[in-house]
Structure formats: C-alpha cells, structure tokens
A = this chain, B = another copy of it.
Amino acid sequence: MQTKKNFFGTLVIGLLALGQTLWAQLPDPGFTIDNRTAIVITDPQNDFLSENGVAWGLVGPSVTQNGTIENIATLFELATKHEMPVLISPHMVNDHDHQWEFAGAMLTFAKQVNLMKKGKSTEAGVALGTHGADIFTGYHKYLKNDNVFVTSPHKVFGPESNDLILQLRKRQIDKVILAGMLSNLCTESHLRELVEQGFEVAVVKDATAAAILPDMDGYKIAQANFTLIANHVFTTEELKAAFLKL
C-alpha cells in the first residue's frame, strides 16, 4: 500500500506542479453507438423550454446559451434517420401528489410554484398542449414517429418510479445517449440510476441546461459529475460526427 500511495501521491503532485489536472488522466471509456442504443430525454417540457414556462426565469439563460432546444431537436432528427428509439421521461405532478407529507427543498419549491402540474390529457394519453407539463410544443411533430414515445412520469428526479428501465430492456437496449432538463437534477439522477442499473451511458452536455445563479451554476456542477460517472460526454456536434461514421 505504501508503494501505491507514494506512486499516486507523486503522480498527483507532479500533475499539479505542471498545472495539469487529473482531468487529463481520468480515463475516457468511450461510447460506441450500435443497434442496442437508444436516446433518453428528461423533462423536455414547456415549463422548462418555453418562454412561458414557470421555470423560464431560472433556466432560460442556460437553455439559450447552450442551444438546448435546437440540440435536442437534432437528437430527434438523428434518431429518426437512424431508426433509433427515443424515450422521453417526463416530470409530472398530479393533484394527489400534493398530499405528500414531505419533500426535499427543490421539490417543495416546485410544488409552491406549481411546476410541472399535470394539465388536461389528450386522447392519446400524451400531453400535447401548451400546459407547463406538456411536452415542449416544438417537439410535438416528433411524437408522431413510431420510434418516439413517452414513458410514465417520474415524480422526484430519477427513473426509479416509472417504466423507463423496463421499456429500454424490453427493446433490448443496453446503451443510452442521455439529454434533457435539468442538467444537475433530473438528467443527472437519470444518469446515476441508469449506471446503477447496468447501462452504458453517454451524456450530450449541450443538449441539457440548468438553473444558473450567482452562487450556483447547475450546468457547471453537472459537467463534473457527467465526466466522472458516464462512459463519455459528447457535444451535439461530436455526436453528429459519431452518427455520420455509422
């Protein structure tokens, strides 16, 4: 152990001294797109992506800066072209969820502002209107495609209480390209849970966005965790290039 420690300690000190960071040393396992790959998008809903959304004041700057709306659209286009499934995991709150006895800080806040409150259901069972919890209006055209569908909603941040994992496994999917809202909350909880459930996951960082405040940059925080936890982090441009090589 002494040998390992000395080696390791020297490596780190050496890197810092050279102004290098461990980032350059952290392995990049990589991610190969194949026919057992699907795209998963968290919370692409009006409350987060529409200028009329309840949370636009908080997340709008990040969405605009990253080009998140266009980048998510690119993922839909790539998927349709390559016949790849796209699963949307929406966040949604029903009336009866307001009976909950307790919740963490963010979810308590969300309840106060009626974030993602379920609107009228459409005939298809997928909310295709302009309510906050409905799928972003700009993406409704993609929902007509056979390769795109919406799972049951998650209620906290991750897919532990919806059927996302089952839907992936029943389609013999092992690898996920992940995007959506919010980078450090629902998207990151989906990343962590998919990894715990044995999927390989790549995150498309600029196809996500978060709340950015002076003291807390949700997007920057998530970058570090994406890099540590996922198999690879792509930009949308890098992902397009990867699809071109298929």
Residues of chain A touching chain B, judged by Cβ–Cβ distance below 8 Å, are 1-2, 4-5, 8-9, 11-13, 16, 19, 21-23, 25-29, 51-58, 94, 96-97, 99-106, 108-109, 112-114, 118, 120-125, 130-132, 149, 152-153, 155-158, 160-163, 165-172, 174, 184-185, 188-189, 192-193, 195-201, 211, 213-216, 218, 221, 224-225, 227-231
Contacts and interface: CB of A to CB of B under 8 A. Distances in A.
A110 B198 CA distance: 17
Nearest to A127: B125
Nearest to A148: B96
A198 B168 contact: yes
Given A196-B161, A218-B224, A228-B185, A105 B22 contact: no
| Number of identical protomers | 4
A112 B8 CA distance: 11
Given A27-B108, A97-B170, 13 more contacts: A8-B54, A12-B58, A94-B149, A97-B167, A104-B195, A104-B229, A121-B124, A156-B196, A157-B192, A158-B192, A160-B196, A161-B166, A166-B196
What 7 pairs across the A-B complex have the smallest Cβ distances?
Answer: A169-B198, A100-B170, A161-B163, A152-B152, A160-B196, A96-B149, A12-B57
